[in-house]
Amino acid sequence: MVAHWRSPFIIISSGCLIAMFSFGTRSMFGFFLEPMTGVHGWSREDFSLAMAIQNLLWGLAVPIAGAVADKYGPMRVLMLGAICYSLGIIGMANSESTVSLNLFGGLLTGLGVAFTSFSIAMAAIARVVSPERRSLALGLGTAAGSLGQVVFSPLALLWIHSYGWHDALYLHAVVILFILPLAFALPSDVKAKGEALSNQSLTDALHEARVHRGFILLTVGFFVCGFQLGFITIHLPPYVKDLGLDAEVAAIGLALIGGFNIVGSLVSGYVGQRWSKKKSLSLIYFLRGLLIAGLMVLPKTEITLYVFTASMGLLWLSTVPLTSGIIAQVFGLRYMATLFGIVFFSHQLGSFLGIWLGGIFFDATGSYELVWWLGAALGIGAAIVHWPIDEKPLPRLSLKSIEPNNI
């Protein structure tokens, strides 16, 4: 049972704040590439590998975190994640070798990010709203994660300039601990509003998804999303510096991504309630490919980068409410965190490759251009992949709701 004080407003607000702290902190690691590699004498590939490991473990652990949250509720999962996340950042700050960096900045931080992932919070949010408002609620949760990027990108740069990179990491570790009290607000009840009770087992749910072509195509498409976002998040700050522009340009650029992503996520959630989600996803990936190609052929100025990051921001996490919305619409909410976690693993595998290949190609060629073009080509491919997805709910979801809508 949900405690009386856990109203939909409290649950949605707490879930949004958790998404903001978790994703916002995650978005700032690129600003530590230059100072940490400079002090320790590491290459960009060394730092990129640690961040790639972080993203890969994030993806590997999310289905596990989702399965536990689906069975027992999100509170314990989020609290464990916040502790791991904070300790990982502290260990990263004190790393003297690449092995230590991979262990703390990669493995432990990645585990913490996974167990505080916005997918855990969004599953809780989705369960307290009616089906017809679910897409918009998911957009709201995604927008909160974007707000974290708006806040934490310039904040990370300010703390680095004011206190040094070492103390700045400690401050981020403290911020993550705010997730601990927020986790208490999320209920352990796993029944969704507006959906019949399900006796389906996890094994049956996984088999059902495995043989559904739409689920496979979503998984493939989300790989591309991760590749593009992972590469840009980590490598945009050094890319901007390599162009001879100030570091503030990258900070403003990432903040623009986050700011416009708030708008993009909300619009995506709204559109997902009224138009085909799969067609919306195809359009988003196609436009991403065009934007990246445009950046490569246009002169590299501050204005060009600001236009690129603002435009990319509109498309940044707008894929999340649509992708998670298709999963909820087709398979229901009983195992949403688990199924979205599996799709998200593909996202993080793409992120791993985007981050790692960025470092490898730069160290080998002195340029990021090949990876930029690869990201553009993958965007066009993802647009094609999403088109044949079947969005119709499975027959077992045709049962009548046993609970009236209250929100």
**Residues 219-261: tens digit of each pLDDT:** 999 999 999 998 998 888 889 888 888 878 888 888 888 789 8
Q: What is the pLDDT of residue 311?
A: 95
Residue 95 located in a structural domain = yes
Whether 391 has a pLDDT exceeding 90, the answer reads no
Return mean pLDDT, the chain.
Answer: 85
Structure tokens belonging to residue 179:
């997730």
**Which single residue is written with the structure tokens 């559904």?**
212
Q: What is the pLDDT of residue 401?
A: 43
Is there a contact between 176 and 295 (Cβ–Cβ < 8 Å)? no
Q: What is the pLDDT of residue 4?
A: 65
Specify the higher pLDDT residue, 209 or 199: 209
CATH of the domain at 148: 1.20.1250.20
Task: Compute φ and ψ for 259, nearest 5 degrees.
Answer: -65, -50
Residue 195 located in a structural domain = no
Q: Which amino acid is at 154?
A: P
- Alpha-carbon distance of 203 to 286, in angstroms, equals 35
User: pLDDT band at residue 341, thresholds of 50, 70 and 90?
Assistant: confident
The sign one gets for the Cα dihedral 84, 13, 403, 274 is negative
pLDDT mean over 33-44? 89
Domain boundaries, position 366: 8-190+200-394
Non-local CB neighbours of 221 within 8 Å, separated by 6+ positions: 281, 285, 323, 382, 385, 386
- Alpha-carbon distance of 153 to 239, in angstroms, equals 16
Is there a contact between 128 and 407 (Cβ–Cβ < 8 Å)? yes
User: pLDDT band at residue 398, thresholds of 50, 70 and 90?
Assistant: low
Specify the higher pLDDT residue, 44 or 108: 108
Q: What is the pLDDT of residue 196?
A: 53
Residue 147 located in a structural domain = yes
Residue 399 located in a structural domain = no
Q: What is the pLDDT of residue 169?
A: 96
Domain total for the chain? Answer: 1
Environment class of residue 311 by beta-carbon count within 10 Å: exposed (0-12), middle (13-18) or buried (19+)? Answer: buried
Model confidence over 109-160: pLDDT tens digits?
A: 999 999 998 778 777 777 777 766 777 777 777 778 778 877 887 888 899 9
Environment class of residue 370 by beta-carbon count within 10 Å: exposed (0-12), middle (13-18) or buried (19+)? Answer: middle
Residue 127 located in a structural domain = yes
Give pTM, 2 decimals.
Answer: 0.75
Residue 351 located in a structural domain = yes
Terminal alpha carbon distance of the chain: 18
Percentage above 90 pLDDT, the chain: 38
